[in-house]
């Protein structure tokens, strides 16, 4: 004779209790591994913009290009900037269009050298293809410091020229 719990369990295996609705099998959600694809190839980044800064024509890449190079979303890059995980963009130039409330908007721009230095910093720390970065780890803290130093040196060299 079956156990009482087994009998009740067998009675409701195909329908919800008190209903004619058939119970669907619970689909197990397979977690897809998110692949981070950082790119050193400039053609993947997108088209650079030529801007004249203090009389010097400079090839600059947008924040979206920087995000594509690191294999991250633009939202992630903005978040990292806000949290101080990466320094602010080396170049922030006024936009030709106004923001949603009519205020002036600054666009983030990066040179090829600044993108490559960030890629190298993440790569050397072993964080380039990591899905989630533990920003409290020594490697991540070192990445922040290295990018800050290298971008600072790049801006200083530009200012001296």
What is the band of 19 on the pLDDT scale with cuts at 50, 70, 90? confident
Find the mean pLDDT for residues 129-149. 91
- Rounded distance between C-alpha atoms, residue 157 and residue 58, angstroms: 14
pLDDT value of residue 145: 94
Alpha-carbon distances of 13 from 3, 19, 99, rounded to whole Å: 16, 12, 57
Q: What percent of the chain has pLDDT over 90?
A: 45
φ/ψ bin of 76: left (φ > 0), alpha (ψ from -120 to 50), beta (otherwise)? alpha
CB 70 within 8 A of CB 38: yes
Question: Which of 14-18, 67-71, 74-78, 152-156 has the weakest average pLDDT?
Answer: 14-18
What is the chain's length? 161
Which pTM was predicted?
0.72
pLDDT digit string (tens) for 64-73?
999 999 999 9
């Amino acid at each position: 004779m079956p156990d009482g719990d087994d009998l009740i369990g067998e009675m409701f295996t195909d329908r919800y209790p008190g209903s004619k609705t058939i119970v669907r099998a619970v689909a197990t959600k397979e977690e897809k591994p998110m692949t981070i694809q950082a790119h050193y190839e400039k053609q993947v980044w997108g088209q650079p913009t030529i801007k004249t800064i203090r009389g010097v024509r400079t090839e600059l890449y947008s924040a979206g290009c920087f995000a594509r190079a690191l294999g991250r979303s633009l939202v992630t890059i903005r978040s990292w900037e806000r949290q101080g995980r990466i320094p602010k963009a080396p170049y922030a130039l006024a936009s030709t269009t106004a923001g949603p409330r009519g205020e002036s908007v600054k666009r983030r721009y990066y040179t090829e050298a600044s993108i490559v230095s960030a890629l190298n910093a993440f790569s050397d720390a072993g964080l380039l293809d990591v899905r989630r970065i533990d920003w409290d780890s020594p490697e991540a803290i070192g990445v922040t410091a290295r990018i800050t130093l290298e971008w600072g040196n790049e801006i200083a060299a530009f200012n001296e020229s």
